[in-house]
A and B are shown apart, each in its own frame.
Chain A
Amino acid sequence: MNTIPFSTSSPTGWILAAVFGLIFGVLLQKGGVTNYNVIVNLFRFRDWTVLRIMLTAILVGGIGVFGMMQFGWLEGYHIKDLNLPGLLLGGCLFGIGMVLYGYCPGTGVAAIATGSVHALVGFGGMLFGGIAYALSYGALKESLFTHGAFGKVRLTETLPLPEWTLWIVLVGISLLVFRLLRGPKLQEEAS
């Protein structure tokens, strides 16, 4: 048990990457999130498509992964470090960039392929941002990233609750959010 079936550097791993990528691309496009207006209108409280997709993905994905962990089917979690300065500042920059660009990295890549020329230009911007980050990484590492690093923390470690109760709470909150945010004004503007 607990052996990874396929290495990501094996030929099978590469074929799986293509299968997963194709599915992801189809889902993003059919979800409507390759549309600039849909993403921007989330932040303008005019279209809840992105929120519906993300919350459903988190619930379905999270409960499934939790279950598979219980059965011992998975190697373990892949938790990213809780580096507060980087997460807060990076998250804020990301929000600004997402509204200005109208996409996030995944939806931007998908949107290029649906004919969005400005998504392609923004991809050039992303490459530029990647270069700028690599060049400034040394300085960031020695200043900003020296504080507020808490390592790989899960919410279950900060809240004294068993994991399944957290999922019940999250399902409850999401259903409430979905119920409150239904309404006729959505979607029509976006298409």
Chain B
Amino acid sequence: MKEQNSLSLRQPIWNPFFVGAGIGILSWLVFLVVDKPLGMSTEVSKLSGWVTAVFTGMDSVESNPYWASKTPAFGYSTIFLLTTAVGAFLSSRLGGTFRIEKVPSVWKEFYGGSVAKRMIAAFAGGAILLYGARMAGGCTSGHGISGTLQLAASGWVFFLAMFASGIVTARLLFRSPQQKS
């Protein structure tokens, strides 16, 4: 797939530098009009509070020391999360790249086509990912982009730790038995 220099929604993909600049400009707007950095993982942990509330009731969720400070409630960040999905859906439909994917090709190359295997890995990965994000107080958006661009020391520390760990993990996870050209 070639990088595209036109910014039509019908294009399957855009030039990554345009996209990066777009995210940068989006962060100006968000700072300017709602005085907020871009972020995603706080909202996901609030959603996990909602899921818990289905089983235990909202009172017990609100008595948890973590959810007490991040009370699950429908609002700005919930809308942002949902419409991020809507935007990606429209964009992939218009660009013609929408497709049901169960086992991505790099994974398949190393671990075969088993759907169960891939789903277990995705679930475990998601769990570790969000646990880490909450421990660090942010994710790729909150620390990796919003934090670093404000020159927050926390953002840069997170960015480097995540990168280093990801490289080591990829080394271990995708070790090719036979050297590929």
Contact = CB atoms under 8 A, between A and B. Distances in A.
Interface of A: 4-9, 13-14, 16-32, 34-37, 40-45, 49, 52-62, 64-65, 68, 73-75, 77-84, 86-119, 121-135, 137-138, 140-141, 150, 152-158, 163, 166, 187-188, 190-191
B134 A130 contact: yes
Given A30-B19, A58-B145, A87 B136 contact: yes
Given A31-B14, A156-B151, A53 B23 contact: yes
Interface of B: 1, 3, 9, 11-14, 16-17, 19-38, 40-41, 44-45, 47-49, 51-52, 64-67, 75-77, 79-92, 95, 97-107, 118-119, 121-170, 173-174
A122 B125 contact: yes
A74 B34 CA distance: 10
Given A60-B25, A101-B126, A111-B88, A153 B153 contact: yes
A126 B83 CA distance: 19
A92 B127 CA distance: 13
B22 A23 contact: yes
Given A101-B126, A129-B128, A96 B1 contact: no
B57 to A, nearest CB: 15
Given A21-B83, A57-B24, A98-B162, A80 B125 contact: no
Contacts of B1: 187-188, 190-191
A118 B162 contact: no
B170 A40 contact: yes
A24 B80 contact: yes
A64 B34 CA distance: 16
Contact of A27 (B26, B32, B144, B159): B26
Given A65-B150, A114-B97, A92 B92 contact: no
A23 to B, nearest CB: 6
Contact of B148 (A31, A62, A140): A62
A26 B48 contact: no
A129 B129 contact: yes
Contact of A89 (B66, B80, B135): B135
Nearest to A155: B151
B151 A86 contact: no
A22 B97 contact: no
Contacts of B65: 137-138, 141
A105 B40 contact: yes
A78 B84 contact: no
A40 B118 CA distance: 14
Contacts of B33: 4-6, 16
A184 B103 CA distance: 26
A96 B77 CA distance: 26
Contacts of A107: 140
B3 to A, nearest CB: 7
B131 A133 contact: yes
B14 to A, nearest CB: 4
